[in-house]
Amino acid sequence: MRVLGLMSGTSADGVDAVLVRLEGRSARPRWRILAGAHTPYPPDLRERLVAVGQGRPLDAAAWLTLAEELTEHQAVAARACDPQGRAELVGCHGQTLWHRPPDGERRGASWQLLQGPLLAELLGRPVVFDFRSVDLALGGHGAPLVPATDAALLGRIGGWRALLNLGGIANLTLLPPPTGPDRNAPVQGWDCGPANTLLDLAVSRFSDGRLPFDADGAWARQGRIDEGRLQQWLREPYLQAPPPKSTGRELFGAADLDRRLAELGAGVEPADALATLTAFTAAVVGQDLARGPRPLELLVAGGGTRNGFLMEQLQRRCRGMAVRSLAGHGIAEDQREALAFALLAWWRWRGHPGSLPSVTGARRAAVLGVMAVPPPSGG
Ligand SMILES: Nc1ncnc2c1ncn2[C@@H]1O[C@H](COP(=O)(O)OP(=O)(O)OP(=O)(O)O)[C@@H](O)[C@H]1O
Ligand SMILES: CC(=O)N[C@H]1[C@@H]2OC[C@@H](O2)[C@@H](O)[C@@H]1O[C@H](C)C(=O)O
């Protein structure tokens, strides 16, 4: 089956799309990427999406307009990747506006903005969306969801294999080895902490809004890391908590950046602040990987793979493992999450459970997603 996956993540830089052929066993499908495309958000739409995610109030009419514009942009991204309309099914994540992890007895909740039936009508295809809700209803975190798709799409190696997403938020997957005492261990996965959310906010602030990110980490590279402060940040409660755990801009957003910059000192040089924040992202991952089974390799995806300074810090702080790009396995750095949502949609189509309670903490596995089917043409 030809499935189109659409993913727009917490950095809200745009929509990643992948057209993939999926066939065979649901648990371990044969797959081949047919096309990929990234469609940036128009600056005005991006500004509004980030602002409402940080608490800007909107009236109901404006919310409806935002949801409609976002949905129409998902259709633009779909057509950019699949202009001939070869997809038979579409999986669309939507845009996360707020994520509230479970807290004690209070279940979690998560909002991915999208008008699924409208997208189904615009594309003339069945669309699967709202992937997180049923896991949250079952007491889980509803995130991260990619550990399940990583396990299905990528083979195992002679030891533990780790995969890292360096998007707005950093999240890890740990795949157990195929043999040995850990061969029956469950797949692990969790949100580590900030990847680029704090960096992007800091760069935008230091450049008076002229720059969206620190290209290749060149600005941070000029600075000096405040290692003492970084080590103090590593002891924060979220970073010390065991999985299951999930997060977002709610914890690692503008207010968090304000606090960290204040702790670095009022006169901190932008380069020094960026160097410390970049090293902090890598150190969080290194601290997490040092706690569990030591992986043989760390495969990295997400926009952060284009930050050379961040990748150097990662190699330095994740000792004893080979740090490689996922691109070497036929998945470009901006395709992994879109591919995941194509597979999750395919699983929904087949009635195959897509969640991993060992990752999200849900009471049980479940089939994820709501499916909107376009009315018959001429209907
Ligand atoms: N050339 C570059 N140099 C440095 N950083 C870059 C570069 N290109 C992209 N990035 C970073 O990658 C980020 C986008 O990465 P990505 O698209 O993987 O995030 P996302 O999918 O929106 O987030 P998440 O995975 O947390 O949902 C940008 O916000 C920016 O910080
Ligand atoms: C609520 C939400 O959108 N969470 C995202 C975010 O971005 C990365 C990390 O936090 C991950 O947990 C998740 O997305 C990926 C695709 C996931 O669910 O695996």
Per residue in 336-367, pLDDT (tens digit) is 999 999 999 999 999 999 999 999 999 999 99
- Given pLDDT bands bounded at 50, 70 and 90, which one contains residue 99? very high
One-letter amino acid at 164 equals L
Residue 190 C-alpha to ligand 2 middle, in angstroms?
9
Do 314 and 360 fall within a single domain?
Answer: no
* Closest C-alpha to 134, from 373, 372, 371, 370: 370
- Given pLDDT bands bounded at 50, 70 and 90, which one contains residue 258? very high
DSSP β-ladder status, 30-40 and 14-23? antiparallel
Do 186 and 281 fall within a single domain?
Answer: yes
Question: Counting every residue, how long is the chain?
Answer: 379
- Give the pLDDT confidence score for residue 155 in this predicted structure: 81
Indicate if the pLDDT at residue 379 is higher than 80: no
Ligand 1 atom at shortest distance from the alpha carbon of 200: 31
Structure tokens at 148: 């399940």
Please give the Cα distance from 120 to 88 (Å, whole number).
11
Residue 258 C-alpha to ligand 2 middle, in angstroms?
23
- Give the pLDDT confidence score for residue 1 in this predicted structure: 98
- Give the pLDDT confidence score for residue 190 in this predicted structure: 98
* Closest C-alpha to 245, from 360, 99, 98: 360
Number of domains in the chain: 2
One-letter amino acid at 296 equals L
Asked, for residue 377, whether it belongs to a domain, the answer is no
Do 90 and 183 fall within a single domain?
Answer: no
Per residue in 60-73, pLDDT (tens digit) is 999 999 999 999 99
Do 225 and 325 fall within a single domain?
Answer: yes
Do 152 and 139 fall within a single domain?
Answer: no
Going by CA atoms, what residue is nearest to atom 29 of ligand 1?
A: 11
- Given pLDDT bands bounded at 50, 70 and 90, which one contains residue 376? confident
Asked, for residue 156, whether it belongs to a domain, the answer is yes
Do 51 and 115 fall within a single domain?
Answer: yes
Are 87 and 128 in contact, with CB atoms under 8 Å apart? Answer: no
Structure tokens at 299: 């495969």
Q: Is 10 in the pocket of ligand 2 (CB under 6 A)?
A: yes
Positive or negative torsion for Cα 197, 203, 206, 209 = negative
Positive or negative torsion for Cα 78, 374, 122, 63 = negative
Do 260 and 342 fall within a single domain?
Answer: no
Do 239 and 347 fall within a single domain?
Answer: no
Asked, for residue 360, whether it belongs to a domain, the answer is yes
The CATH number of the domain holding residue 41 is 3.30.420.40
Q: Which domain range does residue 210 map to?
A: 146-329
Please give the Cα distance from 138 to 151 (Å, whole number).
22
Going by CA atoms, what residue is nearest to atom 16 of ligand 2?
A: 337
Do 158 and 299 fall within a single domain?
Answer: yes
Mean local confidence (pLDDT), 163-167: 97
Residue 179 annotated in ligand binding? no
- Give the pLDDT confidence score for residue 333 in this predicted structure: 87
- Give the pLDDT confidence score for residue 329 in this predicted structure: 87
CA atoms within 13 A on the CB side of 34: 18
- Give the pLDDT confidence score for residue 378 in this predicted structure: 64
Asked, for residue 238, whether it belongs to a domain, the answer is yes
| Three-state SS annotation for the chain | CEEEEEEECCCCCEEEEEEEEEECCCCCCEEEEEEEEEEECCHHHHHHHHHHHCCCCCCHHHHHHHHHHHHHHHHHHHHHHCCCCCCCEEEEEEEEEEEECCECCECCEEEEECCHHHHHHHHCCCEEECCCHHHHHCCCCCCCCHHHHHHHHCCCCCCCEEEEEECCEEEEEEECCCCCCCCCCCCEEEEEEECCHHHHHHHHHHCCCCCCCCHHHHHHHCCCCCHHHHHHHCCCHHHHCCCCCCCCCCCCCHHHHHHHHHHHCCCCCHHHHHHHHHHHHHHHHHHHHHHCCCCCEEEEECHHHHCHHHHHHHHHHCCCCEEEEHHHHCCCCCCHHHHHHHHHHHHHHHCCCCCCHHHHCCCCCCCCCEEECCCCCCC
- Whole-model pTM: value is 0.97
Mean local confidence (pLDDT), 107-130: 98
Mean local confidence (pLDDT), 37-63: 93
Are 197 and 247 in contact, with CB atoms under 8 Å apart? Answer: no
Instruction: Centre a 10 Å sphere on the Cβ of residue 278 and count the other Cβ atoms it contains.
Output: 28
Asked, for residue 215, whether it belongs to a domain, the answer is yes
Are 177 and 297 in contact, with CB atoms under 8 Å apart? Answer: no
Say which residues have a Cβ less than 8 Å from residue 376's Cβ, sequence separation at least 6.
none
Give the binding-site residues of ligand 1, using a 6 Å CB cut-off: 9-11, 13, 165, 167-169, 196, 199-200, 213-216, 302-304, 306-307, 334, 337
Instruction: Centre a 10 Å sphere on the Cβ of residue 225 and count the other Cβ atoms it contains.
Output: 18
Do 268 and 136 fall within a single domain?
Answer: no
Mean local confidence (pLDDT), 82-105: 97
- Given pLDDT bands bounded at 50, 70 and 90, which one contains residue 207? very high
Do 249 and 344 fall within a single domain?
Answer: no
Do 216 and 291 fall within a single domain?
Answer: yes
Asked, for residue 378, whether it belongs to a domain, the answer is no
Asked, for residue 268, whether it belongs to a domain, the answer is yes
